[in-house]
Structure 1
Amino acid sequence: MVKLKEVCRHVRSKNAGPFWVTFDLFFNGPENFGKYHNHPALGPDLFERLYGADPALVRHYPVPGLNMVKISHARTAPQGGVVERDMHCGQQFVRLLDVELG
């Protein structure tokens, strides 16, 4: 099984305003982009399991010209809340790196 970190040259996460988080997956070429950008393993269920996101609020935005996909989901609590541990969501991508893509 191939892992996400093996088919992407760069993976990052960041806040997308106070109510959303976004992940940018830059695949290492058009072949891997075509094969994996819409892979079921990267679906809403993954973001529910890893981040507690509402699956109905997970969005995929493919950008073929850059061989990347942007995946966004609504935060479970607004940015800057009492229990916030990563205000800018800069470390959230780490959980995705070992996701297996059949």
Structure 2
Amino acid sequence: MPQLKSIATVCKSKNAGPFELTIDVVFEDADTFHRVKETGVLGAALFARLYNVPKEYVLFTPYDAAFAFKATLPRLVPAGEFGDTDVYGCQQHAPLLDLEIPI
């Protein structure tokens, strides 16, 4: 099974304000995107588990026209708050990189 990092063109994270994080996963072509989408691996439940937040707090959206998925979820520590290790939220996508996709 390929890992997400080998089939996604883009996998990035960033702040969506100081209290939320957004993660984007983009594929180069429609075929790969739809094959990944059909597996159901990428979804709110996965992001909730990986980022230790309740599933109902994860806004997960597939964007078919852009061959992309977007997840927005609460940050466990607000940006810039004591204990924050990634003030810009730009390294939070790492748990997804080694995710195996059954395609």
When normalised by structure 1's length, the TM-score is 0.86
2:43 is matched with which residue?
A: 43
Q: What's the RMSD between the two structures over aligned residues?
A: 1.6
Structure-2 residue corresponding to 1:21: 21
Q: Which has the higher strand share?
A: 1
Equivalent pairs counted in the alignment come to: 102
Return the letter of the residue paired with 2:93.
Answer: F
- % identical equivalent positions: 33
Deviates more, 1:13-22 or 1:33-42: 33-42
In structure 1, the gaps of 5 or more residues are: none
Separation in 2, partners of 1:63, 1:26: 9
* Structure 2 unmatched runs, 5+: none
Q: CA deviation at 1:38?
A: 6.2
Normalising to structure 2: TM-score of the pair?
0.86
Indicate yes or no: 2:11 matched with 1:6: no
